[in-house]
């Protein structure tokens, strides 16, 4: 994912619950690795790697991961006309990484993503199951389920 220290060995310290890059200059802990892009990328890479390992060893850990708006840290809301810059390519790369992990497990793993960004490129486009927007009147919680007056 072209993250900072991506060419260095990365390890998970289970006692400190942090990632460490073993660089030539010495160990670099996750809080010292830089931007939100790095934090997000390494968190998702770690979760995907753990799930791949759980599958490999036959662990009883449930075979799904739920992510809530991974784009929030660096991708503008398309409905507000924000500029995209390299954020679109970064986000697409993230989804390609998720897709590759899912494919490598051949149906033994599912990732559920709640996302405000809406990309036209694959693999994002074909993975979308619902688009909940005010503009189309659809929502995760249908309006007719809500029984209280929101003005109260």
Q: What is the pLDDT of residue 146?
A: 81
Q: What is the DSSP string of 84-145?
A: -TTHHHHHHHHHHHHHHHHHHTTTS-EEEEE-S----STTHHHH------GGGT--SS-GGG
Q: What is the mean pLDDT of each run of 10 residues along the chain (152 residues)?
A: 90 93 95 86 94 96 94 61 66 92 94 90 90 82 77 61
The crossing angle, in degrees rounded to 10, of helices 87-104 and 36-57 is 0
Euclidean distance between CA atoms 4 and 88, whole angstroms: 18
Q: What is the pLDDT of residue 79?
A: 44
pTM over 0.85: no
Q: What is the pLDDT of residue 112?
A: 95
Euclidean distance between CA atoms 54 and 51, whole angstroms: 5
Q: What is the pLDDT of residue 80?
A: 46
Q: What is the pLDDT of residue 18?
A: 92
Q: Cβ distance 54 to 104 under 8 Å?
A: no
Q: What is the pLDDT of residue 74?
A: 67
């Amino acid at each position: 994912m072209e993250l900072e220290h991506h060419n260095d060995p990365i390890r998970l310290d289970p006692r400190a619950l942090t990632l460490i890059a073993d660089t030539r200059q010495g160990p670099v802990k996750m809080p010292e690795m830089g931007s939100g892009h790095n934090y997000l990328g390494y968190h998702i890479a770690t979760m995907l790697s753990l799930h791949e390992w759980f599958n490999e060893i036959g662990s009883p850990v449930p075979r799904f991961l739920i992510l809530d708006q991974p784009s929030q840290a660096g991708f503008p809301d398309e409905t507000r006309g924000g500029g995209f810059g390299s954020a679109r390519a970064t986000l697409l790369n993230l989804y390609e990484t998720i897709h590759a992990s899912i494919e490598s497990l051949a149906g033994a793993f599912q990732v559920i993503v709640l996302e405000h960004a809406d990309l036209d490129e694959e693999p994002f486009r074909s993975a979308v199951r619902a688009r909940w927007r005010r503009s189309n009147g659809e929502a995760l919680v249908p309006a007719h389920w809500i029984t209280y007056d929101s003005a109260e």
